[in-house]
Amino acid sequence: MQSKRQQFGKESESAAVRHLKKNGYKILEQNYRTKIGEIDIIAKERQTLVFVEVKARKSHFYGNPKWAVTPKKQRKISMVALYYMKATKQNNVKARFDVVSITNADDKPRVEIVKNAFELAYG
């Protein structure tokens, strides 16, 4: 059985997928997991491979969720993205990192796509 937190996370990711599709993204993978870490969504927008981190909050109390992708999280996502590109032989494709920010204040979700939210981070 899922906790309320897990359920909220799953619902938020579903909302993110719907929003991305509505905005022209083609979803390739969801919850892509490796020994290194996980990427919430891997998509394609035109000719660009997009690695998407979904951040959701139930209120504005802790600020906009898009600011919750820390440098440590960026490094982890970057490593998994490089692993994915190598594993799928897509080393020469254009890629970027987006964040989908969802705030569920007042039971009215506000979904925002932050394109190019951060650069490849490693080290």
Average pLDDT, the chain: 88
Q: Which token pair is 28?
A: 């390739």
- Pair 25, 50: CB distance under 8 Å: yes
- Domains: count for the chain: 1
CATH number at residue 43: 3.40.1350.10
For residue 6, the surrounding DSSP H or E stretch is helix 4-22
The pLDDT value recorded for residue 93 is 92
- Domain extent, residue 13, equals 4-118
Looking at the chain, the whole-number percentage of residues with pLDDT higher than 70 is: 88
Distance (Å, whole) CA 77 – CA 19: 21
Q: Is 12 helix (H, G, I), strand (E, B) or coil?
A: helix
Q: Which amino acid makes up residue 11? A: E
Q: Is 24 helix (H, G, I), strand (E, B) or coil?
A: coil
pLDDT at 86 over 70: yes
Residue 50 within a domain: yes
pLDDT in tens, 90-101: 988 999 999 999
For residue 109, the 8-state DSSP code is -
Residue 123 within a domain: no
Q: Is 10 helix (H, G, I), strand (E, B) or coil?
A: helix
Residue 16 within a domain: yes
The pLDDT value recorded for residue 59 is 62
The model's pTM is 0.90
